[in-house]
Structure 1
Amino acid sequence: MDPCQHEQHEAHKEYAALCQLPGLEATLQSLGVEANAFSCSTQPSAARMAITCCRVLRQALPQVMHEAGEPSETRRLLTSFSERYEQLLEEHMGLQRKCRDLTSKNVKFEALAQQAEAWQSAHQAAIARIEELSSENADLKEQAKLLKQQGIDPKERLHLQQRLIQKDAELQASMHAMRKLEEVMEEQNALVEQNASLKRELRELLTRAEEARESPKVTSVAPETNNNFNQLSDLSARCHAAETELKETSAALEFLLREKGRRLEDEEFLVDRRLVASMLSLYHEHLASGQRALAEQILAQALSILGVPKEAQRSQRSAAQARLAEPLGDAFLDFLEKEATESGTAIHAAGEQTLTGSTLLQPVTETKHSS
């Protein structure tokens, strides 16, 4: 194919494609070009196509250049609105930051205001207290000045010294009595423990005697019964001695308490705090060791010393009733008499060793008469 014909064919094809573009007429009209410039009804020559394109380009080029050089009104407004929006957004963000800062500052200011009110009230209270102390100090200075000017009467000073010596002596006597009382209570505690051990031995002997009575062989019971009666007589004597000593210590303790109460009632009531502290410590020690009776006696004595005579009398009455409620000696003697009667009956029924049975009953009778 000839190159010229080929170029002509390509030009016709491009021209036909241009004519078939959608919106070509509207675009040409907006650019101020005649709408019928491109006509696809006939196939123009190459020269005609070139002329038409040049004319359209010449007519549309000024409008295109004008629009390219200056933005349209819509684009200008859009740009202006975008810039204004960005500016307002920055101002809004700045106002939010300022609002947050002002809120935090307001919270801090309220806390500081509350602290200031608290400090102000405390300052006013301190000022009032200082004024009160200043007035009291002035009064005390005035009184000291008057006392310094007047002086103390020699008779009054001598009287005060005598009272001080007397109270010191009373305090020493009270401490000495307290030490004696502690010694007596320790002895009483030892006697109570000894009495408890005697009771345990008595229960053991009761158990052994019961086992001996249930034994089928009477001949072997007699020697054991003799030993049991000897032990029972020994324990009876020890029990009577312990009860006698316990009664003596109880009587001495009650006498000391009565003497202490009489002295406290007759004289002016003054108690050393060290004495009270030692008694309370002793009370807690007895209470912790499980010796409630001794702890109650210590408490009753402390109440009596501190000036509570009714409570002390009530405690003394309860202690006396508790002692009367435990007739240990009578119960022990009844047990010995019962054991002697049962042993004599068993020996007489067996028909052996009657002489041994009569000699076993003699110590029991002597013990009962001595008690």
Structure 2
Amino acid sequence: MLNLKDLNSIREQIDKTDELLFDLLTCRFGLSKDVAQEKIKSFSPVYRKERESEILKKALESGNFGQYIAPIMAEIMRESRILQYGELLPFDKEFKLNETLNSQKVPRLPSGNACFCGSEGAYSQMAASVLLPDCKNFGTDSFENVCKAVYDGNADYGVLPIDNTTAGTVDEVYDCLIKYNLFIVKAATIPISHCLLGVKGTSISEIKTVCSHPQALNQCSEYLNTLDIQKEQFANTAFAAEYVSKKNDKSTAAIASKFAAQIYDLEILNDKISKNVNTTRFIVLAKEPVICSKANIISIIFSLPHESGSLSSVLSVFNALGLNLLKIQSRPDKNKPWEYFFYLDFSVPEDNPENALVALYLLEKELPFCKFLGIYSEN
């Protein structure tokens, strides 16, 4: 039977021990701050792996509870580094993001021209019209060519799909974010509503062939299975709509948007043919970072040292600084088998935006690769 008197006595001892720990930790963090003040003079590295490894080894060998003490010491040292980076940050002129993120904010993106992937009537053009209403837009034939147009100065902005609720991530776009030195300046999640389109006067019973992008055909497969039709694949939904318009044959229909129906003068035969709610997240890319007044999301891409627990260590930094992670996505490093890049979105707290800078500063200093992709708002 549990003796509450003995249990209360033990708890009193724990409370007294905790008070000692609080005092010792306060002293330790004060010393860490003193170390930072010395490092400001020389800008010597905050993270010294060999010293931390030595301390962790001592913790492991410290007694019967070494296996429990070591991870606590690892967390204490991580918090100490965060404190030191916060002290050094205002003095490090080589950390250009400090200047970038504190630069003048603009109320909205400047007008210009925007490139999207696809032809007239594509969902990406619709997204470009929504995201950049003051810009002229034009299409190209691949995600990479959208990035090239922006990088080469032939477009002010590029509009690309990056995630879809039914098809998942658009891997090629993530690869382009690694390859090209471009910045996300805006994002939006837009409903994708597939419609069955035909030339005017068509009845559904007349249709023998339905054309569209493979994903659109799959997303509408339940509806299409109720029809006696053949499926024909096209590079995108807009190409399919254009083909049906030019063919002018009631036996051929397309799956595309209401936007495409207007452009190619087609009739909407059915506007409820998707089997699931379908939304796509689009991003706007620019050659230089542009920070709008309501920007509150930061995106980065980074790689990790090939060590156990390295991802967990990075994520704990965001937790320690009170930064909310919105998304993390991995992509294989094509030049290093079994190694990965990580794409990460996090929100910037209104009450403490400096913590976002501290996190970026730490990652830039400690990771083998860390690329800032932009700070932006998302609708």
TM-score, normalised via structure 1 length = 0.18
Could you say which structure has the larger radius of gyration? 1
TM-score (ref. length: structure 2): 0.18
